[in-house]
Every structure is written in C-alpha cells, then in structure tokens.
Structure 1
Amino acid sequence: MTRFFKTFTTALLVTGAAFPAMASARPMTAEDLATLKRMGSVAVSPDEKWAVFDVTETDLETYDRSSALYLLDMNRDDAAPVRIVDAPGKSEHSPAFAADGSLFYLSDASGSEQLWHARITAGDQVGNPVQASDLKADIAGFKLSPTGEKIALWGDIARDCPTFGCDHSGNRAEPGPGTGREYDELFIRHWSSWETPGNYSRIFAFDLKDGKVAGDGAALDGDLVGDSPSKPFGGGEEIAWVPGEDGLFFALRTADRNEPKSTNIDIYGAKADGTGTVNYTQSNEATDTLPAFSSDGEWLAWAAMERPGYEADRLVVKLRKQGSDEDEAIALTKDWDRSVGSIVWTPDNQYLIVTAQDVLDHPAFAVEVATGKVTRLTAEGNVGTTIPLQDGSLIFTMNSLQAPTDLYRRAPDGSVTQLTNINGSELAEIDKVEIERFSFAGANGDTVWGQIIKPEGATGKLPMAFLVHGGPQSSFGNSWSTRWNPKVMAAQGYAAVTVDFHGSAGYGQAFTDSINQDWGGKPLEDLKLGYAAALETDPQIDGERSCALGGSYGGYMMNWIAGNWPDRFDCLINHAGVFDLRAMALSTEELWFDQWDHGGNWWSRPNPEKWNPVNTIANWKTPTLFIHGEKDFRIPYTQSIMPFTVAQEMDIPSKLLIYPDENHWVLKGKNSVQWYRTVFDWMGKWTATDMQDSKGQ
C-alpha cells in the first residue's frame, strides 16, 4: 500500500487575499454548509484590470437565496471585492464584459430574467445599471460577440415561435379539457420536469445598439429541432462566436423518438441572421461539444467522444482549420488518457487551457497547439473557470475539501495568488480537517486511490463514515460539495473515507470503462479492499463502528452492500439509489446511460438480473435510512419506497425521508440542513458506544 500526503502542497502557497485571524474554532455544522457564500460565474475586463463575479448568499434565518455581483481590482494587492448592484431581494448573475469594457449581466429585477448593462466610469465606479432587454421569455443565458456589436441569447422558446417568446407558448402536453398530459414519444420528462412538447432551449442572435438588445432577433436553429444549449445542464460553454465573422457555432442533439437513447450531440455553425446552418461534425455519431475559436478565427477547437451511446467516454480535444474538411480534423489530445471538461484558447493562440479529472484532483492544464504536449498548471484542488491573460497569467476559480470556491491567479512563473476569500470570516470560526490520501491494490491488482478526512487534532478512536460516490463514472476527489461534504461529516467526530473504485474518472479511460456491465463486481471488491486499507493507513479509525453512505450509484451500492456485505456496517444511508434494475430501466429518462452500463435495454441484456439488488434481500439486516426527492426523474423515488417497504416488512430498523420539492439532488437550504441532521442522527444512533456494547451482548 502507498501512502500519499499533501503532494504539491508547496506549489500552492498563496498570497494576496486577506485572511482573518483564527478565532476560537468549532466543528462545522450543516447550517454552516448551507449558508456559506457560493461563487459562480467570473468575467475579466478587456484591459484585464477588473474581475466581476456573482456570489450566491443565503439568509441565515429563512435560508432564502439570492445572488449579487462583486467587482475586484486585480491590479491592487490590497483590493477587496465591492458589491456593485444593491437590489435587495433580487438576483444578479452571469456577468460578461463587452469589447468596450462595459458590463452585461442577467437579473430578475424587472420581474423576469432579463439582460442588464452597466459601465465602469473613469473614476473606477460602476454607473447605474440599465435594463438592456425586455423580452417575453426569460433569458437563460447570453454570449457577447467579440466586437460587442451582437449578442446571443437563449431560453425555453416554442419551436413555432419566430421571436424570443410568444403569447401562445402554453403547455402543449395539456390539450384539455382536463388536466391530463398527452405524449406521443419520449422524452416525457427530463431530470426534474415534465416536458412541454414543442418547447426547446433555443438560441437567438440580436444586434446590440447603445448597450441594448435591438429588434426581434434571429433564431439560429433553422430547420433543426432540439435543445441548444443541451438539457439539463448545458450552458454558454456549448456556444462560440466566430471572431471576425457574423456567425456562431453551437452544440445540439436532435430531438426525436431516438433522443433518449442518443448521445449524438453535434456542433453546428450558422450566420447571425439564422441562415446557412451547417453540421460540422456530421460523421461522428457520438458527442461533440465545447466549441472554442482561436482569436484569429482560424481554428475551431472542440471536445469529441468516439463511442455512440456512452456519456462517460473520453472527451478528446480536436482541432479543425476553418474551410477544411471534417476528416482533416486533428485529435490533439489522443495520446493523453484524460477526458477534458473545458476548453479556452490563450490570447496568443499557442495553447489551449483545459481542465480534466486527474486522480483525486481536477486541475488546469496547458495543451500546446503545435504538438499536443500537456502541462499541468495547478496543484491540488478542483479548478472550474479558467481565463488566460495576455501576459501568460491565468485567472481561475478553485475549491477543495477544505474550502468552497474562490478566485486565484497563476503567474507565468507558476506562483499562485489567492485573489478572494469570500468565506474567510466564516471559515476562521470552523475547525479544519486533516486529509490523507492512500492507495492500494484493488480488483485485478489495479491501483485504487482513496482519502481519509478527519477532524484536525482529534484524539481517541473515530468511527468511520464510508462514502461511496455516484456517477458511477465520477470521483470522490478533492473538491467542495454542498450535497456530499466530507468536511462536515468529519466535523461530527467521524473519519470520512472515500474510495475511487473501478469505474471512477481520472485514472484513464480503461479504468472508467471497467464498470460497464459490472456494477456489483469490481467496485464492491475495491470498496472491501479500500475499507481494510483505510484501517491500515490510519489506526485511529475504529473499524468496528462504521456507517456507509451513498447517493445515486452510491445508493445502488448501499442496496448491493445490504445483500452482499451485510455484516460490515452498523448502518447504511441510501440517497436516491437504484433498488430494482428492471424498474430503473423502464422508468428512467436518459436511456442511453442505463442501456450502455448494463448492455442494452432490459429484454436484450445477456444476464439482466446478475447485479440486481432486489434479488439479494434475503440477506438484508443492516439498519438503513432511505432518502429521495419526488421530482427525481433520473432515479424515480419509488426506488426508495420499494426497499423501505422491504426493510419494514423484514423488521429491519429503517427510516424514509422524502422531499416533495427536490429532484435527484437536495438543493434548498432548509432541506439541506434537514438532510444532514437526519443523516447525522441516524449515524450517531448506530455508531454510539452504548449501541456497540448492546450488539456485543
């Protein structure tokens, strides 16, 4: 077994942001987690002096949330972010600078999501904001053209509506006279909402005149039918203006009967007047996304998968020269066994800045355009937004297991400065945690990585909180989460242990692929070996007092553990986990995921029942807490009602927490607090010393 503690630490010594003096610290609470500020979108002015970012803030009493814009002078070492719009009860977000240095953003100040405009004056003050659009539909996002003369807006618009919003855009799924919905094909629902036939996420291009949206705009989808940006999570990263030309590129998957089984997202180009729509990736039937143009407009970069139907395939950076044929595209990172998550050109067009999961971190990398050589730019942590500057510096956002997102600058010499510390005073009152990485030989002898997170300076034995990530093609890495936060779990007196089992991301595509049609095989073997490796790595962990927790695929694993590792844990916490693979296959919405991972639709799988937890309930005996949201259409909430019913029928101690207003994730402030309190109570009940004594009698 290999121990690995804080590699790269010296590379991330930061300066700049003011850090409050350490107060008398205390353990972190669920209330802390729900109310810490959350940095969102970031923009840098053309002169690279100003950074503007939005911060979501939570009322400490009501848990109501709103977002505000903050301005930071990046040329001053002592600068502090200044709030630039004061509109209590309203939200401002998604800032972007135009070529002339003026600021645009979205706000609900007018009663709907519209575009707003402000200027930074010669005295370094922000002028009074002016509403820049008054459209019938809410604006979901926007992207300014390089010249600032045009703007792309997108939102949910009826396909037969020629403008950005029409009076007749009702729900076509409800023909009346009753309340029934009618559907002729899938999707009927997606992620957390029922579909409205004929409505799609659509992009319109508008002129900008005197800082305001002008005219009716032009729809860019032409004869295409589908969502752009893609749903449910696509955004501006799927749209790119062509520098020096009057056109845009965008990603879209055709909406038809085959859509729930298709990952064939293509990149299209169109003129800003909505004409000349062309599919630039027609020959690839897998995903193409993240279009990004070099500043001279000569090269298009994008990310492409190879295997149709596989949403976790490796995203390889491709390059195509304007005017060339599709088969002349260059697979720039074909020899780098990582999957990119974002793409941005440097101002000199010599490099692409990308992010990718790499073991337990999600760093930024520089990819040399001429050679494809990849260089890691950041150390430990989870990098989000990246903005390269003219002098070779890099502005980026980053979070970690220790702290939420803040803004950083990497200088050309590699030194890193923290520019913001938006939760500094709050974090100064909270105990830190100790984080140790470890590796071990997992299934097939492959190296598997894990982490141990425990209260700093804790004494005595600590019960284990064994966290199993969802996905399953993801990672429980060094990142901040409001939904599954090891720091707040460790603060309750636990050693939180994570294991990146076979199927996880960041270890090469073969490792990710290895979970295919093996949900209950190698991953469970890794978890068993990882449990033992954690105890060997840290003798402070009490292996006789432990609870396992997981959501989504991690929740599936709780059901699988209940039947296949029933003597190990004192309790289980199962959030939105799959219980019956047959019911899952016939009720989930994105069919491509379920069908790829299990070898086809239910009736064509070679051995459909092999990894089905419902078949192992005779072995169940572990006390289990089940949690689910009624708006979860990825894994419908009946997948928690069924195992709860089983546990009740078998007289196994069990509890069900169901949210009528949450989806696959618990997002609302009060609900989050309730989630953690319920989880902590359940864990505390079954890992208490007196409970252990009674078990031994």
Structure 2
Amino acid sequence: MPKSPQAFDVDTLWALARIGEPSLSPDGAQAVASVTRFSMEDNKAQSSLYLFSTLGGEPRRLTEAGDKDGAPQWSPTGEQIAFVARREQGGAKDEEAQLYLIAPDGGEACRVATVATGVEAFRWFPDGRRIAFVSWVWPRLKGAKAQAQALKDFKARKESAYVTDELLYRHWDHHIPMGRVPHLLVLDCVSGKVQDLMEGTDYSLDWKEPGTHSFDISPDGRRIVFSFDPAAEKRAENCFALGEIEVKTGSIRVLLQDPAWDFDAPRHSHAGRHLAFVATERGRSHTAPAQLAVLDDQGHWAVVSAQWDREVEAPLRWTEDDAAIRFQAEDEGRRHLWHWELTPLADEPALLFEGGHAAGFDTRGETVVLLHDSVQFPPRLSVLSEDGAQRIEALNDAVLDAQAWGRHEEVWLTGAQGEPVQMWLVFPPGFDKKKKWPALQVIHGGPHTAFGDSWHWRWNSQLMAAQGQVVACVNYHGSSSFGHGFKDSISGRWGQLELQDVEAGTDWLLQQRWIDRRRICASGGSYGGYMVAWMNGHSGRGVDPQRYRAYICHAGCFDWQAMFATDGYTWFPQELGAAYWEDPAKVAAQSPISMVQHAVTPTLVIHGQLDYRVPDAQGLAYYNTLKARGVPARLVWFPDENHWVLKARNSKLWYQEFFAWIARHAA
C-alpha cells in the first residue's frame, strides 16, 4: 500500500541536493557539475563533483576528498576537469582556494600550483595546457614571492582595522580585500608557472564580483578580452569598458569605451572575427536594459537587441557556426533560454527553452545542457532535444515524490496607473475552493527583480503554502522582465506605485470566496521588507489597519538617509531622485521612518549583522521604534548571517519564527 504524501517541511528542504552550473565535455557526451548536500545535524555543507551522461542514467561521483569542490570546467581536449577547492594535499593545507585537476575517469585530484592569493574564476585556454584565472593581488608588488610575503604579513598583523580611502570598499557581505585588486593571471598546467598579466599596470577587473563572465580568451589563445572600470575612482554605477591583453607580451589596449555605455560579459566567436557582449546605455537611464551587442574585427559595434524590450543576461554562447548567440533572459516573471540569429539578423530572438526558470546552461556543438527549476521542483539537469527538455538525472526524485505539492498559477490585475500587473499564486496541497484559506503576501526584493516560476531556497513558496495558506506575490511596478518603462516607472517615488499594486493583489484575494479575510498577512525581504514597513506606516492613510493581521520584515530598508551606510550608497540617489543633502524632504517622503507613527500592525523583524546591502541598524531601528511605540514586535537577529540566511540551522530557525508569527496573529 503506497504511503500518503508527506507535508513538505524545512528538514526536507535542506535534505535536497543542490546542483551547480554544468560544464559539457568537448564531445557533448557528459556534463560535470558540483552537487552540494547539507547536514542539519552538523550544520555543514559538502560539495562534490558529479558526472552526468547526456543520455541519462545514474550519475557518477567524481570527487570525495574535498568539502567544497566547485566551479568545474572541462578542458578543451576532454582529458581533464579543472575545479576550485580548498584541500589538504602533500602535507600542505590550502589557506586560499586553489585550482585542481582530475581525470574524468576518476583518480586522485591534483593541485596544479599554490597561488598565495588564491584562485577565483577561471577559464581554459584553447590548447588545454594553460588556465587564466582571477586572483586578488597587491597591485604594486612584483612576483609570486612578494605576493606571498605580503599575504603572510597581513595575516600576522595585530591590528584588526579595515583602512581605506576608496569609495568602493565592501560588497553585499564582504569587504574588498584591503589594498588588493583583482588581476588576471595565467597558469601553465604542466610547469605550474604563474604569470600576472596585469602586473605593473593600473588595470584590474570588476571590484564587486569578478567572474568568468568578466573575461574571455581568443580562439587562438593569443589575447584575452576583459571588462574593466576605466575611472580612477571605482564606483558601483561606473560604465565599464572592454580591454584586450596580448598574452605573450602583456601589452594592454582599450578595445571599446564609451562614457554613456557599460560593456560587460565579452565572448569571442569560434572564428575569432566577432565579439559578443552585453551593453547597457547608462547615459540614458540608470535602469536602462542590458542589451546584446556585437563588435567586429574592424572595430565596429552595434546593439543587436535594440528593439527588444527585455534584458540579456550572461553568459553569451555562440552556436558552432557563429550564426547565432544563445543567452538567458526574463520575460513576464519567467526566465527562458533564447537563440538570436545574426545571419541574417533577426528582429527578435527565438525561444529555445521556456521556463520556469533557466538557471544555467552550456553548449557543445548541437548539445545543450540546461540547469532549470520551477515553483514545483528544485534545480535539475536536462538536455534539450526536438522533444523539449529531457532529464539526465534524478538526484532528488525519491525525496520529492514522497511530498505533497501545491499547484501554482498566475493572474493579471489592474494595478497602478491602470496598467496590467502580474501576481503569482501558490496553493496549499489539497486546496479546496469550498473551504476558507488564509493568505500570505510575499513581496519580492530588488526592487528591480521579479517573483517567478522558480525555486527559492530561502523564501520557498511551496514550504510556505504547505502551512495551509495561499501564497501570493505581486510583480509590482519596478519589477524586471516587463519592459524598461515598467521597471523605470518607480524612480524618484519609491513606494507609491508598488503599494497600489500590492493592494490590488490583496483586493483580488478578498474577492475570492475561498479566502478568509480575517487571516491575511504580508511579508517581504530587502526591498520587500521596505514595502511591509511602508505599508504599516500607511495604516489609516490608505491601508486599512485591520487588513493585515501581521507583517514580517526581513532585512528591510527603514530610513533612506541612514541607508547611506549601505554598500550601494552611490546608487540610491539615482533611484530616489536626490541625495538626502540635496532634497531632504524628497528622500524622507520615500522612507517608512517618516510615517512610522501610524504603524499599528504586529511585526516580526529579522536581520543579519553581516548584511552590508541593508545594514542591520535599519532592522534594529525599526524594531526599537515599534517597541517604543507599543506596537507588538519580535526581533530575530543573526550575528553570523548576511543579507541572506545561509546556514542550515539558522534557516530552520528562520522558518520556525516566520511560521510561528503568522500562527500567533492569524490563527
């Protein structure tokens, strides 16, 4: 007799394997990807590399000795797989992440070299003998020995202060390594020799998140193109240029620069005659869409997607014949894989895979392997064929098949300015329209992101619906994937249109006979946390104080003047329409702090001390204000978490507090 499906819970969520982005073998027969598993008991994660046949079948575990083996890439010859890890080998334990090689048929992984300053993103040279990688180095020092000594001295210092005169000095949850910049280095896999290609120059890669999309190696291996900030003072909103390094001589030239355009994610065509990249016209608008562009070998470039009102996302991958480019892009709350024909030039791209959510992909010849997910399932690996996406693994199926799932759907509302607005609904398992159900509004962050048909590990809608409530999320004005006009519409007036859209969503819920109007709550993180604080302050000023039984504010923005402590402080004046010293009233009018005297609804406030995007003083100030005013409030503060709650045990507590708060006020 088959067992009844179980209610999806936090322990089951964290028991699921998490698959990383795949890399295809040169013949397209196999894919390699990291697989991460968590132990709730040990509160630790372990990542190993797995091989997946593109024809399907049981995957094979390739590495076991490391704790965090990740970012695997197949060599162009197919003889080796490179990956990044911290291991102990030959009596030496890695203090920083290093490059390792392993044969695809197994055996012991081998550290290629020890780079004192560590290894981040990397790419193989076409010859399969060398690897280009990113490392944070002291820019005025020469040679590996000098770098190693500088690192040793830095770690041995007795002072703990971070000292800088840079405008850009921290990002999300980490400080920019003090006194260091990200350079491109080359490693010879045979000799172990390492060469810093940017040594002695003023060039460096993106200080925020230098990755594999920041550079690309030419098909002949002679040149490396990279994106960089040409300004002397690095700022988050600066326009990047494209540079090119001659690998043999180390000479660098500026390939493409325009003060009104930001250039990023360069990718050579197979023949080497064209360079695809992402171009964003920041001179037109700070919210301008990222577009697909191509540069030819004569120095001429053009935007391919100028008439397509969607945003192109890296990576860019040329088809084998260089006649088209494949990429991912959002469209109305979903993320698809697209194919843009260049010869002849198409007016818009063709849909290659329809999400759900296309999370990552790789191509070799005609083979396309895809990492994708949905509200209904976590990321899985598939191969595209004429019949659609064909699964090539079933790592989580046994666990998932034992769970009860709720269906999801989208509805369209008339929102602010009389414009259509999308809302996603996730129903509890066993949903029956003849019964009354509580509802939870989940307001996404950003604001220029979107809630979609995707799996979320930290705000899992299936887990929330499994509590016996209808989960609703409105893609309010300002959300991505609905065109530039929709995205830019909230600039200089944050909170206004978004509030109308969320309230339109709640109005729609209240019109349904199956919604219990006495049991509606609202929650949000980051900008979504800002929105629930904004809504609470609007009690009696457009929002019925009895409309929501409780709010949950995770990492929410409370005071835009105090938010100048954020890592993105130079960006907020563009969004708010002014800096606080230029127009204090305008900035204050968009801050929940300016109307918190009207807040009456019980609120759970959650924040992490290591959050640099929304510093924890924002959450603490909001919580303290609510308590001082006698509004029921509860604080959950994590000293070891950032903008996201990433540790298994902390996540379990987060969900427990989240659900308990709703149960207390909307039972």
Which TM-score band applies after superposition, normalised by the shorter structure? over 0.9
Question: 1:553, 1:306 → 2: CA distance?
Answer: 25
1:577 corresponds to: 556
- Answer yes or no: is the 8 Å Cα contact 1:205–1:273 preserved in 2: no
1:184 deviates by 2.5
1:346 corresponds to: 319
Amino acid at match of 1:304: A
In terms of mean alpha carbon deviation, does 526-535 or 666-675 score higher?
526-535
2:412 corresponds to: 439
In terms of mean alpha carbon deviation, does 603-612 or 141-150 score higher?
603-612
1:8 corresponds to: none
Question: 1:174, 1:26 → 2: CA distance?
Answer: 50
The answer to whether structure 1 residue 264 and structure 2 residue 243 are counterparts is: no
- Answer yes or no: is the 8 Å Cα contact 2:223–2:246 preserved in 1: yes
- Answer yes or no: is the 8 Å Cα contact 2:181–2:207 preserved in 1: no
2:334 corresponds to: 361
1:52 corresponds to: 32
1:94 corresponds to: 71
The alignment partner of 1:69 has SS state of: strand
Quick one: which of 250, 260, 279 aligns to 1:304? Answer: 279
The answer to whether structure 1 residue 119 and structure 2 residue 119 are counterparts is: no
- Structure 1 residues not aligned, in runs of 5+: 1-20, 689-697
The alignment partner of 2:288 has SS state of: coil
The answer to whether structure 1 residue 423 and structure 2 residue 396 are counterparts is: yes
In terms of mean alpha carbon deviation, does 138-147 or 434-443 score higher?
138-147
The answer to whether structure 1 residue 681 and structure 2 residue 647 are counterparts is: no
Quick one: which of 670, 674, 682 aligns to 2:649? Answer: 670
1:255 deviates by 7.0
Amino acid at match of 1:528: E
1:238 corresponds to: 214
Question: 1:463, 1:513 → 2: CA distance?
Answer: 33
In terms of mean alpha carbon deviation, does 665-674 or 260-269 score higher?
260-269
Amino acid at match of 1:277: I
Amino acid at match of 1:248: I
Quick one: which of 605, 610, 613 aligns to 1:626? Answer: 605
The alignment partner of 1:661 has SS state of: coil
Question: 2:154, 2:646 → 1: CA distance?
Answer: 27
1:336 corresponds to: 308
Amino acid at match of 2:630: D
- Answer yes or no: is the 8 Å Cα contact 1:163–1:216 preserved in 2: no
1:311 deviates by 5.9
- 1:285-321, CA deviations, whole angstroms, 9 ceiling, x for partnerless residues? 4421111111111110000110159664201110011
Q: TM-score, normalised by structure 1?
A: 0.89
Amino acid at match of 1:425: A
The 1:281–1:591 alpha-carbon spacing in structure 2 relative to 1, beyond 3 Å, is farther
1:450 corresponds to: 423
- Answer yes or no: is the 8 Å Cα contact 2:425–2:472 preserved in 1: yes
- Answer yes or no: is the 8 Å Cα contact 1:48–1:389 preserved in 2: yes
1:276 corresponds to: 251
- Answer yes or no: is the 8 Å Cα contact 1:173–1:183 preserved in 2: no
Quick one: which of 253, 268, 288 aligns to 2:229? Answer: 253
Structure 1 stretches of at least 4 aligned residues deviating more than 6 Å after TM superposition: 171-177
The answer to whether structure 1 residue 390 and structure 2 residue 373 are counterparts is: no
The alignment partner of 2:282 has SS state of: coil
- Answer yes or no: is the 8 Å Cα contact 1:469–1:554 preserved in 2: yes
1:316 corresponds to: 291
1:177 deviates by 7.2
The alignment partner of 1:591 has SS state of: coil
Amino acid at match of 2:193: G
Question: 2:49, 2:157 → 1: CA distance?
Answer: 43
Quick one: which of 617, 637, 652 aligns to 2:631? Answer: 652
The answer to whether structure 1 residue 542 and structure 2 residue 521 are counterparts is: no
The alignment partner of 1:404 has SS state of: strand
1:173 deviates by 9.7
Alignment of 1:153-172 (within 5 A): 153-163=133-143, 166-170=147-151
2:128 corresponds to: 148
The 1:443–1:171 alpha-carbon spacing in structure 2 relative to 1, beyond 3 Å, is farther
1:562 deviates by 0.5
- Answer yes or no: is the 8 Å Cα contact 2:98–2:119 preserved in 1: yes
Amino acid at match of 2:332: V
- 1:31-59, CA deviations, whole angstroms, 9 ceiling, x for partnerless residues? 22233211113111111111111111112
1:216 deviates by 2.7
1:381 corresponds to: 356
1:62 corresponds to: 42
Question: 1:186, 1:162 → 2: CA distance?
Answer: 26
1:583 deviates by 0.7
The answer to whether structure 1 residue 137 and structure 2 residue 121 are counterparts is: no
Question: 1:665, 1:659 → 2: CA distance?
Answer: 10
Quick one: which of 592, 597, 600 aligns to 1:613? Answer: 592
2:530 corresponds to: 556
The 1:216–1:170 alpha-carbon spacing in structure 2 relative to 1, beyond 3 Å, is closer
Question: 1:182, 1:98 → 2: CA distance?
Answer: 41
2:640 corresponds to: 661
The 1:167–1:118 alpha-carbon spacing in structure 2 relative to 1, beyond 3 Å, is closer
Question: 2:284, 2:474 → 1: CA distance?
Answer: 27
- 1:148-201, CA deviations, whole angstroms, 9 ceiling, x for partnerless residues? 132112122222233457234359999987544433332343322234432122
Quick one: which of 80, 93, 96 aligns to 2:58? Answer: 80
2:573 corresponds to: 595
- Answer yes or no: is the 8 Å Cα contact 1:576–1:664 preserved in 2: yes
Q: TM-score, normalised by structure 2?
A: 0.93
Question: 1:278, 1:640 → 2: CA distance?
Answer: 46
Question: 1:669, 1:416 → 2: CA distance?
Answer: 31
Question: 2:155, 2:189 → 1: CA distance?
Answer: 37
The answer to whether structure 1 residue 216 and structure 2 residue 160 are counterparts is: no
In terms of mean alpha carbon deviation, does 659-668 or 164-173 score higher?
164-173
Question: 1:314, 1:638 → 2: CA distance?
Answer: 32
The alignment partner of 1:96 has SS state of: strand
Question: 1:236, 1:290 → 2: CA distance?
Answer: 8
Quick one: which of 617, 629, 645 aligns to 1:638? Answer: 617
1:599 deviates by 1.6
Question: 2:439, 2:532 → 1: CA distance?
Answer: 15
1:518 corresponds to: 493
The alignment partner of 1:377 has SS state of: strand
Question: 2:334, 2:158 → 1: CA distance?
Answer: 54
Question: 2:613, 2:132 → 1: CA distance?
Answer: 30
- Structure 2 residues not aligned, in runs of 5+: none
The alignment partner of 2:23 has SS state of: strand
Amino acid at match of 1:202: H
2:270 corresponds to: 295
Quick one: which of 197, 216, 223 aligns to 2:178? Answer: 197
1:184 corresponds to: 165
- Answer yes or no: is the 8 Å Cα contact 1:137–1:155 preserved in 2: yes
- Answer yes or no: is the 8 Å Cα contact 2:187–2:195 preserved in 1: yes
The answer to whether structure 1 residue 104 and structure 2 residue 112 are counterparts is: no
1:215 deviates by 1.4
The 1:196–1:244 alpha-carbon spacing in structure 2 relative to 1, beyond 3 Å, is closer
Question: 2:62, 2:617 → 1: CA distance?
Answer: 46
2:444 corresponds to: 469
- Answer yes or no: is the 8 Å Cα contact 2:429–2:465 preserved in 1: no
Amino acid at match of 2:654: W
The alignment partner of 1:559 has SS state of: helix
Amino acid at match of 1:117: L
Question: 1:132, 1:179 → 2: CA distance?
Answer: 33
Question: 1:368, 1:534 → 2: CA distance?
Answer: 43
Question: 2:576, 2:458 → 1: CA distance?
Answer: 27
The 1:595–1:685 alpha-carbon spacing in structure 2 relative to 1, beyond 3 Å, is same
The 1:540–1:161 alpha-carbon spacing in structure 2 relative to 1, beyond 3 Å, is farther
1:5 corresponds to: none
1:431 deviates by 1.1
1:90 deviates by 2.2
